[in-house]
Every structure is written in C-alpha cells, then in structure tokens.
Amino acid sequence: MKKIFLCVCFLTWATLAMAQVRLTAKTDKTDLALDDELTLTVQVSGISGTMVMPQLPSLPAFNVFSRETAQSITNGHTTLSFRYIMIPRMVGRTTIGPVTFKYGGKVYQTEPINIRIYRSAVPASAQTQRQPAKTAGTQQAAQADASAQMPPLERELAAQAYNHREPYFLVSAVSNKTPYVGQSFTLAVRFYYADGFYEAAYSNPTVSNLFMEDNGRSQGRQTLHGTVYNYEEKRYTLSGAGAGPASVGEASVTYRVESLGNSLFDRFFGGAVVSKPVTVTSQPISLSVRALPPGQPASFYGAVGSGFTMTAQLDKSETEAGDAVTLAVMVKGPGNLKTTSDLVFPSFLGFTSYPSVPQSGVLQNDSTRSYKLFQTVLVPQASGTYTLEGISWSYFDPTAKVYKTLTARPLSLKVLPSANPERKLDFGSQTPLGNGIETLQQDIRYLKTDTDTSLSLLARLPEWKWLHALVFMWLAVCLFMACIGKKTAAKKHAYQHAKTQLKKAKTYEHISDALSGYIRNKWNISTASLPLKDIVTALQKRGVSADSLRTFATLWKELESVRFAPVAPTDTALSAFVTRAAQLLKTWEKHV
C-alpha cells in the first residue's frame, strides 16, 4: 500500500514537472541586411535532470557560426538558454522552422519565425552623389534595386549612415513621421563604430507628445565606403499621445578609445593611453501626430493598426449553477496594446460577472506585436443552455483609414442544476414543480400578438362627463328640494300635527304648545318671545278674521292663567280647553 502511494506520488510529481516544461525561440530582429548577423535564442525552462540539446530546423538561408549555452537551476528546475549567431546567405524571405525539443517522451515545438533578408545597400540618392558619373550606370541601378527591397526604417538608417565617414557616429530614424493618435511605430538608434571602444555610456532620447517603450537591442555589421562598421542598435516602440506636433530628441553615446602614446617610452613598453570621453549624438526628429477620424464605434478602445486578431473562449463548456467559469478574450496585434482602454464586457443575463484586471505583453516570437487578455469570471444563476453573445472589439486601420470591428463567435455553455442544495442559486432546484417538470432557465415571455385592447368599463367611466354633470345636478336638485320642501311640508301638516298634539295633551301646557306650533308652522310666527298683543297683530296681518282672533286671545289668556295655577287640571276642564282649541284650529284651517 505504501509503495503504491509512493508510486502515485512520484507519477503525480513527474506529470506536474513535465507539464511545466516551456520552450521558446525568438530572434533579435526579423529584417536584416545580407552583411548583418542574426541572433536566435532558444530557451527551455521547467526541466530537471541532464541537459538535452534542442534540435534546430534546417537553415539553408543561414550559416551558423557561433553557439553559446547557459544553464541555471532554480528550485530544482533547470533553465537552458541556447544562443545561435547566424549570418544570412541569400536575399529574400525565409522561415526559421520550429525548434524541437524532446523531453519525458514528449516532443515540444516552437512557432516558426519569418525573416526578411535584404541586400546591403544605401539609397540611390546618396550613392549617386558619391559615384563618379561614368561609373554610375549599372551600379546605381543595382543599388536602387537593393534599397527598394529594404524596409523604410532600415533604408533611412542606411542613408543617414552613408553620410558619415568618421569612425564613430550615431544615427536615428522612425518608421512613421505622421502617425495617428495611438498608432505604434518604431524608433531605431544605431551607434556605428569602425574601431574598438570602451566605457560607452548611452543616453535615451527624450520625447514629447509620445509614449515610448523599450523594444530590445541588437548588433549588426555594415560596410560603408569600403570600411566595415559594427553597430549597436536600440529600438523603441513609440505611439502618439495626442494630435499635434511631436518630437524625438537627441540620443547620445559617450565613449572612450585606446590610443598609443607618442613618447618613445610609451612605444617601447607598449603602454596604452586612454583618450578623453567623446560624445556623439543623433539628429532630433520632428513628427506630426494625426487625430483619429470621427465615427468611432462603441466597441473602439483606442487600438490603431492593422492585422489585429481576437479570440474568445470559456475555460469549460459545461458547469453547474453557482460554479464559476472564466471567459477569456485575447486580442493580438501590432504595437503596444497595453495603452488601449479595457474591454467592457456586456452584461450576460442570468450570470453574475466579476471582471479581472487585463494582462498585456509583447508576443514572444514578434516583439513588434503585443497581446491583451481580458478575463471575467461568470457565475450562472440557474441551470439551462446559454449562448453568450459575440463580443465586439474595434480598431482603426490607418492604411484603409476606416474603423474595423472584430466580433468573436457566440459561445455556448451548458449549466447543470447545482448538486449542492445549500448553494441556493439554481432556480430549477429551488422551485421543483413536481410531475417530472424541471425548470431550466428563465426568459422573458413572448410577444403579445393581439395588441388590440379595449378599455374596461372602469377605465371608460372618467370619460362620461355628461353623466358626472347629471349626478351632480341630481344632488343639487335634491338639496334644493330638501330645503324648500321642509318648510312647505311643515305648513301643510301644521293642522294635523297640532290635532295630534291636542289629542295627546295631558296638561294645559301641551294645549298651549299645540297652538304655538300651529301658528309657527302655518304663519311662521314664533309665539315664544312675543306678547299676546303682538301675536294678534301678526296674525291680523296674515288675514286672520277678527272673530277668530278674539276667540284665540280669550283662549290664550285663559291658558296662560291656568297653566301657572297651583291646582292640578281636572279632566273635564282640560277636555273643555282641548275642544275649544280644536274648534279654533278647525276654524282657522277652514277660513284662512
């Protein structure tokens, strides 16, 4: 059991160790002259044990004249570095095939590298000035043909170099003097030397309205005016910061050379005398940065150039609800993509998104191109089959002078119901519908195909304004009628009301009240606060006959006197008063 465990541990370790093996191959330049030299660096990392040599491909276009090997060991892992210096043999385009490396029964390969070799030459214009007229014929044509094959930057450097005859000088050139904002281009600074030197100190050029980034260095050789010069070249990637003028300042090299002393003593002992420091500088360069044209798409993040590519992929095609998947979008292209803005991921319905900080860098095989990797972690909320829409990314193509948009293909993701019931994220598992029905995902409901809606009765009611008016009129009429009718009804029913009161009368006061109520209801005369004389006058004014008034006055006085008498009324006396009052009311009702 123990042995099995150890074997498993060893196999796991071996697998992990092999999985980390990394093989890279890169050159110091991809364009070079026929009399130049090329350095190919192959690096193997993550191996352990004995040194194994990588196998170079067939190189018919080069002579390999130097090999160097370096080895370093960190934490038990070895990193091997192989450096091959090669001289081109022919003009044209060639490819350094994949470098192969066998390790642990597995074969590793690098990507092929495309190289362009051009004829060593100087511009025809420079050559013409220096060639005698009679020899200019065929040589000029050959040189013009050679310079036409050279990249513009190389041609510019070569032309500048041809103007120098001193043993040490510095030249610089840019690949584009009118770049767009954000467009990357190359600045090359070359220090030519025909003799040896030491203690050379190099100072970077200063730039304005430009972003500058180091892009490596290389060495080369060039023949000028019959003298073989070596040169050290330093390259930078520049990009325009804003529209307007820009400049690249002077670069400088301060060096010392050896020289023999003039005295006999010095010559005899062969002693060397060090010269004073000498500084050579390059010429400043003026540029004009152009603004980008209007009409930028929403998915434009500032990338300028041509030949961009984009890929989008998920780290898995199937997951569980609540488990994270990573969506990675890789953009590759010329220049430095680090300076472009970050891609804004669209919001994916049904997913919680957690974008991470983008990564960027230079491509291993081509230092003039870079990549930018955008990643976001997506957590599906529910089970189902999802299609993530294609992500778009736009750039400005300065050659075609148009904005172009790259759109990644839509990605499909199958999300299974969560096996963890405590996750509480899967809609399906949260609401089991029973009867074998499983909810997979939520989506909006379909269109309303019958869009013809008729308003409900309640919704139409506010529009019936005539009905509102009618109802309010009804209320007003009722109110009016109630006010008017109250008085009329009282008048109408005065006699009846008084008769009823008289029938129920038990005291003289009741009889008096019945009379007062009749007078009040019938003629609207309040008897409570008036003396008898005034009551009679008021009744007279309303057309009551004198006879009945006399009868009323007599009855009223008698009632007043018996009302406050100390003796209780007898039934006979009360009845007599009731009869007299009833008779009076009857007379009034009949004649008035």
Partner 1 sequence: MKKLILSLLFAAVCMCGQAWASTAEELYQNGQYAQALSAYEQQLKDYPNNPFLYYNIGNCYFKMGSRGLAIANYYRAFELNPRDADIRHNLELALSGSGESLVPPGMPQALHRSFFVLSVTELKGLLWACAWLFCLLAGVWLLTRKAGKLTVVAGVLLLLVAGWFYIRHSWQSEPLAVVASPKAELRSGPGTNFPASATVTQGHLVQVTDQKGTWQQVVLRGEGLKGWMEASALEHI
Q: Which of 93, 424, 460, 586 binds partner 1 (CB under 8 A)?
A: 460
How far apart CA 56 and CA 79 sit, in angstroms, is 18
User: Which of 31-39, 137-145, 477-485, 556-564 is the region at the interface with partner 1 (rule: CB under 8 A)?
Assistant: 477-485
* CB-count exposure of residue 343 (10 Å: 0-12, 13-18, 19+): buried
Taking CB under 8 A as the criterion, which residues in 343-382 touch partner 1?
344, 346-347, 349-350
Q: Which of 76, 434, 436, 462 binds partner 1 (CB under 8 A)?
A: 462
Q: Is 477 in the site for partner 1 (CB under 8 A)?
A: yes
Percentage helix, strand, coil for the chain under 3-state DSSP, each rounded to 5: 30, 35, 35
27, 115 contact by CB (below 8 A): yes
Q: Is 481 in the site for partner 1 (CB under 8 A)?
A: yes
Q: At its nearest, how many Å lie between partner 1 and the CB of residue 460?
A: 7
| Total of residues contacting partner 1 (CB under 8 A) | 39
CA 27 to mean position of chain CA atoms: 38
Q: At its nearest, how many Å lie between partner 1 and the CB of residue 414?
A: 21
How far apart CA 393 and CA 340 sit, in angstroms, is 11
Lateral strand order in the sheet of 62-74: 22-27, 38-47, 77-88, 62-74
Which one, 189 or 391, has the nearer CB to partner 1?
A: 391
385, 410 contact by CB (below 8 A): no
Residues linked to residue 362 through DSSP beta bridges, in sequence order:
370
Which one, 286 or 451, has the nearer CB to partner 1?
A: 451
Number of other CB atoms surrounding residue 150 within 10 Å: 22
State in Å, rounded, how far the first CA of the chain is from the last one.
Answer: 135
Six token digits for residue 591: 């004649």
User: Which of 79-87, 164-172, 191-199, 437-445 is the region at the interface with partner 1 (rule: CB under 8 A)?
Assistant: 437-445
Q: Residue type at 14?
A: A
Taking CB under 8 A as the criterion, which residues in 329-348 touch partner 1?
344, 346-347
Residue 405's contacts (CB-CB under 8 Å, 6 or more residues apart) are: 297, 299, 392, 393, 394
Q: Is 424 in the site for partner 1 (CB under 8 A)?
A: no
Q: Which of 2, 134, 276, 445 binds partner 1 (CB under 8 A)?
A: 445
Q: At its nearest, how many Å lie between partner 1 and the CB of residue 387?
A: 11
Q: Which of 129, 138, 286, 449 binds partner 1 (CB under 8 A)?
A: 449
User: Which of 175-183, 469-477, 498-506, 540-548 is the region at the interface with partner 1 (rule: CB under 8 A)?
Assistant: 469-477
User: Which of 54-62, 66-74, 213-221, 443-451 is the region at the interface with partner 1 (rule: CB under 8 A)?
Assistant: 443-451
Chain contacts with partner 1 (rule: CB under 8 A): 344, 346-347, 349-350, 389, 442-453, 455-462, 464, 467-468, 471-472, 474-475, 477-479, 481-482, 485
